Structure 1
Amino acid sequence: MSLAPRAVLVHRTTEYEELVARHGTHGQAAFFLASRGRDLEEVAERHRRTRRALAEVASAVPLTWRQTRVERGDLDRFLFGPEDVVVVVGQDGLVANVAKYLAGQPVLGIDTDPGRNPGVLVRHRARDAATLLAAALARDTGTEELTMVEAVADDTQRLVALNEIYLGAPGHQTARYRLGLDDDGGVVEAQASSGVLVGTGTGATGWLRSVWQQRGADLRLPGPTEERLLWFVREAWPSPATGTSLVAGELTADGRLRVTVESERLIAFGDGMESDAVQLTWGQSVRVGVCGERLRLVG
């Protein structure tokens, strides 16, 4: 007998909860903010809106389903199942945070703070949860298959991200490596830079777009479902031993960017989750390109 569907409600600790945890009480947190010209009530109201939305979504889960909750900080220890429907209650970035841990499960994005969030990935309101959950498992439910990016190291470490993957040195030090494209006739360049950013069409609303606006006039931003990535080297440094000729480009479905480490330690992390990074040491290589998996975003 197959398992009943499970609604997995993904959320994150609110700013209010973080402040109270740091200062011990509501009053102490309020005093801390007041001493800096801020009002805790604004933060507390956002917290209340988030908790109301989470409670409304939880109450909308069908009675025949199972349900559970997972906080963003626990995602790397949570086991998603094939029968799950993932409901992200929060900001757009939270959808990106969970995407790397999924394998085709449908994802619903619930915006807890309309008007404050862009709503690119969290497109729905808590009041719509019952209708969306009922339709989530239907084959004809409208979903978008969003392109993701992956990095695979030569020791089989693998990283997947929805927005972008960053490769560089921890602590914002200079990254030293050799960079080349698999389909570029073996052209490789030694570089020293602030790192390499490889992003998707979904990431084109965030970090990737900010770099593109400065540097990518000749490159067209990809769409969220397009099997195409853009890559940029950040602040490449010219010297007798390092070059700056390979600093931007695009990757199609079969293309791969290869980076070979030439410093003691580099890391690769996705969607701002530096705590869940791939560790790379001298001589290791990593290939970055379009991921074969997609994020199934409902509506």
Structure 2
Amino acid sequence: MSLAPRAVLVHRRTEYEELLARHGTHGQAAFFLSSRGRSIDEVVRRHDRNQQALREVAAAVPLTWRSSRVERADLDRFLFAPEDVVVVVGQDGLVANTAKYLGGQPVVGIDTDPGRNPGVLVRHRSTDTAALLRAATARGGRTDELTMVEAVADDTQRLRALNEIYLGASGHQTARYRLGPDGASGEGAGAGEGESQASSGVVVGTGTGATGWLRSLWLDRGSPGGLPGPGDPRLLWFVREAWPSPTTGTTRVAGELGRGQELRLTVESDRIVVFGDGMEADALELTWGQSVRVGIAGTSLHLVT
């Protein structure tokens, strides 16, 4: 007998909750904001909308289902199961934060603050939850499959991301590494053992990430190729601020990766971190001589439409 589906509600602390955790009381939080020219009233209204959305989503879970909740800060310690339906209640970025821990489970994005969030990934309202849960478990239910990027270290550490993966020094200072053969097109992407570089890091991004950090780099370089779409099996990579010197080069600074192609980075300094979608607290740490390969992940994000 198969297990009943489990609805996993993913949320994060609101700004109001963070203010209370820091200042202790509503009055102290209000005083802190007023001293900086802000009113707490709008913060409380957004908090209330978020709590209302969470209540409506929880109430929409069928009685025959199991349910669970996880806060953003605890995602790296939460064990998702194959039969889960993941309901992300919050902002677009929370979907990206969650995606790296999933293995193909359907995801429903619920926008708690319509008009304030772009709604690229949180596409639905809390009142639609019941219908979306049915669609997520129905045979032939529609989902958008969004390409993800994956980094795999030579010691088997593994990390996935929905928007982009950053490889570089902690604090975005100068990192030293060798960018090796990758089998991809790009500026300076020739054969051989690669190029030693000193830079503020390497960014490898997807089409979903092409509205943020990746787009900024793409515009800055004036790259002739177009940006990938969210479902395209294509990644773009850029080296940030590569520094030329007698021992480091700048010929391999941008390129494209298709399915089956990988970018290899070998560490030539004390420490390099690899993290996805801005979550540096959950990073791979590599040291002298270690290498990491980055390419299209074998798993996509299945976003319920």
Q: Which residue of 1 aligns with 2:279?
A: 273
Match of 2:261 in 1: 255
Match of 1:284 in 2: 290
Residue 198 (structure 1) aligns with = 204
Q: State the Cα deviation string for residues 162-200 of structure 1 (Å, max 9, x = none).
A: 110000001222000011233243251111000000000
| Pair 1:225-2:231 in alignment | yes
Task: Please state how far the C-alpha of 1:134 moved relative to its aligned partner.
Answer: 1.4
Counterpart residue number, 2:41:
41
Superposition deviation, residue 240 in structure 1: 1.2
Match of residue 79 from structure 2: 79
Matched, 1:293 2:299: yes
- The alpha carbon displacement at 1:142 in A equals 1.1
Report if the CA contact (8 A) 1:153-1:284 is conserved: yes
- The answer to whether residue 105 in structure 2 is matched with residue 105 in structure 1 is yes
- Tell me how far apart the structure 2 counterparts of residues 216 and 268 of structure 1 sit (CA, whole Å): 26
**Equivalent residues, number:** 299
Amino acid in structure 2 at the alignment position of 1:77: R
Normalised by the size of structure 2, how large is the TM-score?
0.96
User: In 2, are the aligned partners of 1:219 and 1:249 still within 8 Å (CA)?
Assistant: no
1:285, 1:186 → 2: CA distance?
16
Q: Distance in 2 between matches of 1:104 and 1:17?
A: 31
Instruction: Provide the secondary structure at the position in 2 that maps to 1:155.
Output: coil
- What TM-score comes out, normalization by structure 1 length? 0.98
In structure 2, what is the Cα distance between the partners aligned to 1:167 and 1:6? 35
Provide the C-alpha distance between the structure 2 equivalents of 1:39 and 1:139, rounded to a whole number of angstroms: 48
User: Offset at 1:102?
Assistant: 0.8
Tell me if the contact between 1:181 and 1:255 (Cα under 8 Å) persists in the aligned partners.
no
Which residues in structure 2 correspond to 1:1-299 (within 5 Å)? 1-183=1-183, 184-299=190-305
Contact 1:165 1:268 in 2 (8 A): yes
Task: Tell me, in whole angstroms, the C-alpha distance in 1 between the residues paired with 2:120 and 2:253.
Answer: 29
Q: Give the Cα separation in 1 of the matches to 2:71 and 2:219.
A: 34
Question: Aligned with 1:244: secondary structure?
Answer: coil
Distance in 2 (alpha carbons) for counterparts of 1:172 and 1:165: 13
For each residue in 1:233-252, what CA deviation from the matched residue of structure 2 results, as whole angstroms up to 9, or x when unmatched?
01111111111111111000
AA aligned opposite 2:73: G
Shift of 1:281: 0.1
Q: Over aligned residues, Cα RMSD in angstroms?
A: 0.9
Any gaps of 5 or more consecutive residues in structure 2? 184-189
Give the match's secondary structure for 1:28.
helix
Q: 1: CA distance between counterparts of 2:51 and 2:192?
A: 54
Work out whether residues 108 and 304 of structure 2, in 8 Å CA contact, stay in contact via their aligned partners in 1.
yes
Question: Are the aligned partners of 1:163 and 1:204 in contact in 2 as well (CA < 8 Å)?
Answer: yes
Contact 2:197 2:250 in 1 (8 A): yes
- Residues 60 and 130, structure 1, Cα contact 8 Å, conserved in 2: yes
- The SS at the match of 1:223 is coil
Task: Between 237-246 and 216-225, report the one with greater CA deviation.
Answer: 216-225
2: distance between equivalents of 1:254 and 1:14? 40
* Partner Cα distance (2:10, 2:272) in 1: 30
Separation in 2, partners of 1:277, 1:28: 35
Q: Is the 8 A contact 2:260 2:295 kept in 1?
A: yes
Secondary structure class of the residue paired with 1:275:
coil
- Aligned-pair CA distance for 1:216: 4.0
Structure 2 distance, partners of 1:186, 1:275, is 34
